[in-house]
Amino acid sequence: MAASVGATVVYDRMKEVKEFDESKMGVKGLSDSGITTIPSFFVHPPQTLSHLKSSSACTTGIPVIDLSDINSDVHRPKIVQQIREAAGTWGFFQVINHGLPVSVIDETIAAIKSFHDQPPEVKAKHYKREEGRGVMYNSNTDLYRAQAASWHDALQSWMGPEPPNAEDIPVVCRREVVEWDVHAKVLGETVMELLCEGLGLESGKFKELTFSDKRLFAGVCYPYCPQSDLTMGITSHTDPGFLTVLVQNQVHGLQVKHGEDWVDVKPLPGGMIINIGDFLQIVSNGEYQSVQHRVVANSSKEPRISIVVFFNLSKWKESHYYGPLSELLTPEKPAIYRNFTMQEFNENIYSKGLDSKSLIDKITI
């Protein structure tokens, strides 16, 4: 919305953001309406848009790790080493033969697509902004904090430590969301065991520290964008939490930063993507690395669907502080991060839009 003041045009960005939010139609509704020009508050600055293409310098993609021999005394140490290397250099890897049936993956993706394909007035009853609890559907959780909005909508549900009210999850995807959480938790804990062993810790250490208890499910839709060269699906960021488990349909868009290059993540049928969060980088004293990733706006008529489960701890130490694990610290390898509080962690997330390693930057010694 713009207004003329003499010869000057004043753009009231916040008014337009509020009108979009209160319409509860999301970007899927905008896309389905047939618009050819995106609203101004979705347009990203030139410096963000100038490097949207992935680099041809790296053609291998993120590491792919086969978990089929995970219980073999011969092969497990090799898998642990592969995951340690991937988590320490890429921060991202894709696992195959992980035991999660392809049929379950396909059903969950289809159910989330069905939710987003519903008319705006049907989805609107789930539309809200109550971060940190319950079930919530909206466009851009950081809509009012980000400098520019991104072209995606998401259905989110906190699955643990307390399960949600099943009736609060939209019926069109209720069964699939609940079942997916069970499968994702098993896979997440399996990967955590391997990550523990890679650090020389007891395999159950991360589970003992409740790193798999607090889980946020997100079913994200990136619909067709008529001006995909002017906006982002999700802007570049690192995940603030501990570990992320993600699966996507076959519509490309996810890119990971490796060195100075942006690398396309090619979806493997049945493959599950794992990435390291800021919290795990801190806990591992920098042995594992969270890395920047983003999603380019979707120029395909087919919507991109991703299913994401974010893992974080649910119980803080009695001292209310957290930082690098003492078991990993030696005189030769002292702590490179100071301890921090839950309040500091949460305030860092909810006080601004998505960004990269801002908490890590604050607590680096």
Does residue 8 lie in a domain region?
A: no
Task: Report how many domains make up the chain.
Answer: 1
The predicted-structure confidence for 209-238, as pLDDT tens digits, reads as follows 999 999 999 999 999 999 999 999 999 999
Residue 147 lies inside a defined structural domain of this protein: yes
Burial of 359 (0-12, 13-18, 19+ CB in 10 A): buried
Contact in structure between 180 and 104 (CB atoms under 8 Å):
yes
pLDDT for residue 84: 98
As a whole-number percent, the residues of the chain with pLDDT over 70 amount to 94
Structural domain of 94: 41-363
Which of 278, 99, 249, 70 shows the shortest CA–CA distance to 185? 99
**Cα–Cα distance, 285 to 360 (Å, whole number):** 11
Confidence of residue 122 (pLDDT cuts 50, 70, 90): very high
2 lies in some domain = no
Which pLDDT belongs to residue 306?
Answer: 98
In angstroms, what CA-CA distances link 190 with 173, 194, 310?
Answer: 26, 7, 15
Instruction: Report the chain's C-alpha Rg in angstroms.
Output: 21
- Binning pLDDT at 50, 70 and 90, where does residue 271 land? very high
User: What does the mean pLDDT of the chain come to?
Assistant: 93
Helical packing angle, 174-198 and 102-117, nearest 10°: 130
| pLDDT tens for each residue of 3-18 | 444 445 557 899 999 9
* pLDDT computed for residue 156 by the predictor: 97
Say if residue 251's pLDDT is above 50.
Answer: yes
CATH number of the CATH domain containing 218: 2.60.120.330
The residue-averaged pLDDT of 328-341 equals 96
Residue 21: inside a domain: no
Q: Tell me the per-residue pLDDT of 126-175, one tens digit each, with 9 for 90 and over.
A: 999 987 789 999 999 999 999 999 999 999 999 999 999 999 999 999 99
Question: Cα dist. 28→133, 138, 173, 199, 202 in Å?
Answer: 24, 11, 17, 43, 45
Calculate what percentage of the chain has a pLDDT beyond 90: 84
Q: Supply the pLDDT for residue 54.
A: 65
11: in domain: no
Structure tokens at 264: 């396309």
Residue 7: the pLDDT is: 45
pLDDT of residue 6: 45
Does residue 280 lie within any of the structural domains? yes
Contact present, 255 and 264 (Cβ < 8 Å): yes
